[in-house]
Amino acid sequence: MTGLASPLRATAPAAGTTPGTSQGPPPPAGGGTRGRRTALLPTAGLVLGALYCLLPVAWVVVAATKSGQDLFSTFTFLPGDGFTDNLADLNTYREGIYWRWMGNSVFYACLGAVLSTLVSAFAGYAFAVYRFRGREAFFNVILTGVLMPPVILAIPQYLLMAEADLTDTYASVLLPLILSPYGVYLGRIYAEAAIPMELVEAGRMDGAGEWRIFQRIAVPMMSPGLVTIFLFQFVAIWNNFLLPFIMLGDDEKFPMTVGLFTLLKQGASQPSLYTLVITGALLAVLPLIALFLVIQRFWSLDLLSGAVKS
């Protein structure tokens, strides 16, 4: 990852429509003759791909309506009428621990992503705007963190946390996730692309301190990129499994992923838990899907993958 200096061009147009870039969708209106015929084969290919991706989601919606017996005896995609029962079971299971897991996941993901975005913004800004000794060396050292297999970190992190008497605490799951090498990388890319050095210089001429320049000039200009970093981190922490799985023993502190995993594991001996697992999985997936549907209009995908591109 050395070609970082020439960052994305895709930052400038924040919206999905990049003027003058290739042929994208056929010209709207006016040129009615061109968009007239549908290309059947490509459309069919895309629809097939979409159906493949929706299949497990469709299944979990149907399966959550089945009672324990129906699950293994009726046809997969035949809905049952047990959804409210399943929901009630899930609510009462171990005094609603499921909702506790959901709350924990929200807590880890929100707080972790906010802190991570802040740290990434600071670091990215420093790398992009200042020339100082050891800049590239430190940047590359942080970047290698991307390549580090999670387990090589998680085992010693666990042992060190144990030394500090911090295992099985919220902090043990939260703290190691705040620094994200990928977030710092994105922070630098966005800062380089979005902040003109002339503005920083102008700020200095006007007598503004470095912190003030960061707050008043850099943050507003970086904000679309910061949103992207936040979402990346949110999804990454929400999806995280290994670290909480290793760190936590008390299931009151489990995030959703670890909670559902333990339920599934118990299901091997108590198949009645399977309906809970399935209903729980549905309820765990829905908020993220809803979030995606809402944010996809704000979340510029150009921005997202433009940075990955370079």
Partner 1 sequence: MTQPRQGARRSYGVKAAPYGFLLPAAVLFALFFALPIGYAVWLSFHKVEIKGLGLGRGARHEVWAGLQNYTSALTDSEFLRSALRVLGYGAIVVPVMLGLALLFALLLDSERVRARSFARLAIFLPYAVPGVIAALLWGFLYLPDVSPFLYLLDALGLPQPDLMDGGPLYLSMANIAIWGGTGFNMIVIYTALRSLPAEVYEAAKLDGCSELQIALRVKIPMVAPSLVLTFFFSIIATLQVFNEPMTLKPLTNGIPSTWSPLMKVYNDAFTGGNIHAASATAVVLALATFALSFALLRASNRRTTQGASR
d(CA 44, CA 39): 9
- The footprint of partner 1 on residues 115-154 (CB under 8 A) is 118-120, 122-123, 125-127, 129-130, 132, 135, 138, 141-142, 144-145, 147-153
Which CB, 30 or 149, lies closer to partner 1? 149
Which CB, 89 or 126, lies closer to partner 1? 126
Which CB, 43 or 91, lies closer to partner 1? 43
Task: Give SS3 for 170.
Answer: helix
DSSP 212-258: HHIIIIIHHHHHHHHHHHHHHHHHHHHH--HHHHHH---GGG--HHH
x/- binding map, residues 63-102, to partner 1, per CB under 8 A? x-------xxx-xxx-------------------------
Shortest Cβ distance from residue 160 to partner 1 (Å)?
6
Q: Angle, nearest 10°, between helix axes 219-239 and 301-309?
A: 80
d(CA 42, CA 32): 20
107 scored as a contact of partner 1 (CB under 8 A): no
219 scored as a contact of partner 1 (CB under 8 A): no
Judged by CB under 8 A, the residue of 28, 29, 33, 38 near partner 1 is 38
Binding residues with partner 1: total (CB under 8 A): 119
Shortest Cβ distance from residue 176 to partner 1 (Å)?
4
Enumerate residues 6+ apart whose C-beta is below 8 A from 69.
Answer: none
Shortest Cβ distance from residue 168 to partner 1 (Å)?
13
- The footprint of partner 1 on residues 227-256 (CB under 8 A) is 235, 238-239, 241-242, 246, 256
- Answer for the pair 112, 177: CB distance below 8 angstroms, yes or no: yes
305 scored as a contact of partner 1 (CB under 8 A): yes
Stretch that binds partner 1, among 85-93, 94-102, 220-228, 257-265 (CB under 8 A): 257-265
Judged by CB under 8 A, the residue of 265, 270, 294, 298 near partner 1 is 265
Give the tokens for residue 297.
């209009």
d(CA 96, CA 89): 9
From residue 219, give the alpha-carbon distance in Å to each of 156, 200, 224: 35, 12, 9
CA 248 to chain centre: 22
Shortest Cβ distance from residue 81 to partner 1 (Å)?
18
6 scored as a contact of partner 1 (CB under 8 A): yes
Enumerate residues 6+ apart whose C-beta is below 8 A from 204.
Answer: 213
Judged by CB under 8 A, the residue of 4, 60, 113, 276 near partner 1 is 60
Nearest to 121 by CA among 173, 174, 172, 192: 192
Which CB, 229 or 278, lies closer to partner 1? 278
217 scored as a contact of partner 1 (CB under 8 A): no
- The footprint of partner 1 on residues 167-196 (CB under 8 A) is 175-176, 178-179, 184
Cα dihedral sign, 34-37-42-48: positive
